[in-house]
Amino acid sequence: MKLLDRSIPPLQNPVAELQLPAPRMEKLYNGIPVYTLPNPQLDLIHILIHIRNGILHETQKHLSQFTYALLKESSRKHSATEIADLLDFYGVHYTTSCGMDKNVITISVPRSNVSNILPTIYDFIAHPQYREDRLDIYANLKIKDLEYNSQKTDVRSTQLMLHAIFGDTCTAGQFSTRENLKAVTVAQMQEYHQNTFCAENIRLFVTGNVDKDMEQCIKGLFAQIPHGQATKEIHDLLLPADPTPLICEAMPDSVQSSITLCCPSIGYLDADRRGFSILGTITGGYFGSRLMQNLRERNGYTYGISAGSVYFGNQSLFIINSDVNATHTQAAVDACFEELQRLQEEPVGDEELETARNYILGDMLRDVDNSVSYLKKYAYWNQHGLDEREFQDMIQAVKETNAEDLLSLAKKHFEYNKFTRIIVGDIRNMKQASAQ
């Protein structure tokens, strides 16, 4: 048997123009838009429900997460155990996620079971009856998670970052405590759901082998969602709330230190966003990135490091994260800023840029290589007022953005004094911040 020679790269084919199909859009009687992407080969029907609210809209810490995580436990007609058994019997995969500016409910159901189980699911997500006993169980689980994570350097570093960026006036910046985990009440959850789960805040995305009867079932249920007050747009926040450039917290017994470097950055609709996302990939967005080559391959400070943007409202955070060998904490931080400075001073080489382009284009193709992943990507674009044309626009940006463009973007967005540095672990040799 001939062995594969891994020193020889596989053949590469350029990504040609690719026009993605536009999902079919129809508005329900209550104004909810439904985007349907038919796929006759997919007998597992996928439904995404995007609800415009989230952590940045809540007035009580954990309220958004608790309200939507506990929907499945809060059926008017069935106990939590009965709902779990029904979902299992009908082969349903059901999850919820809570983000900065939206909550997402994801449902996948075998097409033969849609009419049998979807009305039950709709009932508990649209008309929940929250219960004290289920709230207590969930809160206690979260308290256990809090205790378990209290000595994890990476978790603590993220907490300190959010507090530094958002401050105490926003729940995103408040620390989780036993007290605020226990402070959420059934009445608050009921009111929050009533105020946020309304037609003005909801968008529906569906893919699979959907026939007319199934469409009528889905549309008939969600057309019943009442009107309400649309969640207001997120106002631009003054970031960071705490301008301290260096935040350190010691965990003397830790064998690693967690590093988080973050700075406020541009919104998703900013003219620089596509080019900046390419720059972010080159910086720390894949295995061949600058930070990975420096901190892992050359110096052995870490097993992995990442960099990228988190978008919310008209803003974002650019974040670099890594867990490094505790004895090399300061050296690792210095290496990160060395790479950022090098990107501001030296144009990216042709070979490096071509490698990054190929990676980005391949990653983009993976994002749309089936109707489920494409629907999720489309839903994300739709949230920002974009559509399937964004895919081709990004391909064009990847092909056209050159080394001089990246140099200019690095100078504009990687200013040293914009970064807040959070270090948790071995901080004995950390240097105070100084302008570079």
Q: pLDDT tens digit string along 135-146?
A: 999 999 999 999
Return the amino acid letter for 287: F
Rounded CA-CA distance 341/336 in Å is 9
pLDDT of the residue at 236: 83
pLDDT level of residue 404 (50, 70, 90 thresholds) = very high
For 325-375, the pLDDT digits (tens) are 999 999 999 999 999 999 999 999 999 999 999 999 999 999 999 999 999
Helix (H) or strand (E) holding 248: strand 246-250
Distance between CA 312 and CA 315 in Å, rounded?
Answer: 6
The model's pTM is 0.92
Q: Where is 53: in which H helix or E strand?
A: none
> What percent of the chain has a predicted confidence (pLDDT) above 70?
96
Number of H helices, E strands in the chain: 15, 11
Taking residues 253-275, report their average pLDDT: 95
Q: What is the pLDDT of residue 432?
A: 61
Helices (H), 304-388: 329-345, 350-367, 371-383
Mean pLDDT for the chain overall? 94
Which domains, and CATH codes, for the chain? Answer: 24-222 (3.30.830.10), 246-425 (3.30.830.10)
Could you check whether the bond before residue 240 is cis, i.e. omega within 30 degrees of 0?
yes
In this prediction, residue 50 has a pLDDT band, given cuts at 50, 70 and 90, of: very high
Give the pLDDT score at 242. 86
Phi and psi (nearest 5°) for 266?
Answer: -80, 160
Q: What pLDDT, on a 0 to 100 scale, did the predictor assign at position 433?
A: 46
- Tokens in use for 284? 């720390």
Q: What is the pLDDT of residues 301-321, one digit of tens each?
A: 999 999 999 999 899 999 999
Section 376-390 average pLDDT: 96
- Rounded mean pLDDT of 141-154? 94
Question: Taking residues 264-278, what's their average pLDDT?
Answer: 97
Query: For 170-184, what is the mean pLDDT?
Result: 96
- Residues 430 and 248: beta-carbon distance below 8 Å: yes
Cα torsion angle, 242, 248, 249, 254, sign: positive
Which residues 6+ apart lie within 8 Å of 138 measured at CB? 66, 69, 70, 73
Does residue 436 register a pLDDT over 60?
Answer: no
Is a pLDDT exceeding 90 seen at residue 67? yes
Longest dimension (CA), the chain: 68
Confidence of residue 19 (pLDDT cuts 50, 70, 90): confident
